[in-house]
């Protein structure tokens, strides 16, 4: 396993790589406010054991990557309302900037093309990456994400509130873990979440450093970017869309919308899964990612032939 910090798009990104250096690269892009440690190790290890070079990183504004300090004059609720009626949203950056971050990561690691796996906001970044930089993306697996259309069914209020309007004073590691477990309980579906695994992820996040302001920055970036539909129609790489059938935050309609607009995309709805990674579905998600990578390789071999 290797880790370090690279310069990218005017900022610094912290990354970790496991598996053989000469293996096919699979880049994992995490979602809103979540550090790279929220990718389950069993999922990453299983793919590394298959010979892939598995890379995960902290997006800007989380973990050990650069924190953005720009004044913000708009709150999350105002941003949601403006987005719903088609008005512009003020934000320190957009998801397109985060795509540029990701391109810079590939450049710094000297990776020409990679398979991409994104969760939630990371799914949106990966979708944009595949649509705007097709020469860099071998395959796409989008998990618990959407086309970011304001016309999609809204999140359940309790799920949305955990991300954009928390009113909790957190001063210690134990308080942070308790807050995290309570939040995930509202984001989960009907499958057991794995409390020990979640607690370990939150403890790791606390140790690496939390950035409450980054949550708002990233949320505004999503709102300011708007619908991805036009870009999704340009995606040509093999794609699989995975979504939880009980996701209360990005409803299943979001995943279905992404799959509908990406030509040839396969859709996998996992019953009982919410906006989380229950231990019982990790093997299935790993299989779907491997299948998507395999489809990309088959397409490449056919093209060569």
Give percent above pLDDT 90 in the chain: 82
Q: Taking 80 as the threshold, does the pLDDT of residue 92 lie above it?
A: yes
Of 93, 87, 37, nearest to 64 (Cα)? 37
The pLDDT score that the predictor gives to residue 302 is 61
Assess contact for 115 and 237: CB atoms under 8 A: no
Q: How confident is the model at residue 170 (pLDDT cuts 50, 70, 90)?
A: confident
The pLDDT score that the predictor gives to residue 305 is 46
Q: What is the pTM of this model?
A: 0.94
The residue-averaged pLDDT of 46-62 equals 98
Tell me the per-residue pLDDT of 214-271, one tens digit each, with 9 for 90 and over. Answer: 988 999 999 999 999 999 999 999 999 999 999 999 999 999 999 999 999 999 999 9
Taking every pair of C-alpha atoms in the chain, what is the biggest distance, in angstroms?
A: 61
Q: Taking 70 as the threshold, does the pLDDT of residue 7 lie above it?
A: yes
All domains of the chain in start order, with CATH:
2-304 (3.40.50.1820)
Measured CA to CA, the distance from residue 147 to residue 7 in angstroms comes to: 29
Q: Is 32 helix (H, G, I), strand (E, B) or coil?
A: coil
- Helix (H) or strand (E) segment spanning residue 259: helix 252-261
């Amino acid at each position: 396993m290797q880790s370090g910090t690279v310069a990218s798009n005017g900022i610094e990104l912290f990354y970790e790589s496991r598996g053989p250096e000469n293996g096919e690269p699979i880049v994992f892009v995490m979602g809103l406010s979540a550090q790279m440690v929220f990718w389950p190790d069993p999922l990453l290890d299983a793919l590394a054991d298959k010979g892939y070079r598995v890379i995960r990183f902290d997006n800007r504004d989380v973990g050990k990557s650069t924190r953005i300090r720009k004044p913000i004059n708009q709150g999350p609720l105002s941003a949601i309302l403006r987005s719903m009626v088609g008005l512009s949203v003020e934000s320190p950056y957009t998801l397109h900037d985060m795509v540029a971050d990701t391109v810079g990561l590939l450049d710094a690691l000297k990776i020409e093309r990679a398979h991409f796996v994104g969760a939630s906001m990371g799914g949106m970044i990966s979708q944009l990456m595949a649509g705007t930089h097709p020469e860099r993306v071998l395959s796409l697996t989008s998990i618990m994400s959407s086309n970011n259309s304001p016309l999609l069914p809204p999140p359940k209020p309790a799920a949305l509130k955990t991300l954009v309007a928390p009113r909790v004073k957190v001063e210690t590691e134990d308080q942070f873990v308790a807050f995290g477990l309570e939040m995930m309980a509202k984001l989960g579906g009907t499958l057991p979440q794995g409390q020990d695994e979640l607690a370990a992820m939150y403890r790791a996040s606390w140790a690496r450093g939390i950035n409450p302001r980054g949550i708002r920055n990233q949320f505004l970036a999503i709102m300011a970017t708007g619908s991805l539909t036009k870009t999704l129609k340009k995606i040509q790489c093999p794609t699989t869309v995975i979504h939880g059938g009980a996701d209360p935050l990005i409803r299943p309609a979001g995943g279905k919308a992404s799959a509908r607009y990406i030509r040839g995309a396969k859709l996998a709805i996992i019953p009982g899964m919410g906006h989380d990674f229950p231990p019982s579905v990790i093997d299935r998600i790993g299989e779907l990612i491997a299948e998507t990578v395999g489809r990309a390789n088959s397409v490449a071999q056919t093209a060569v032939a």
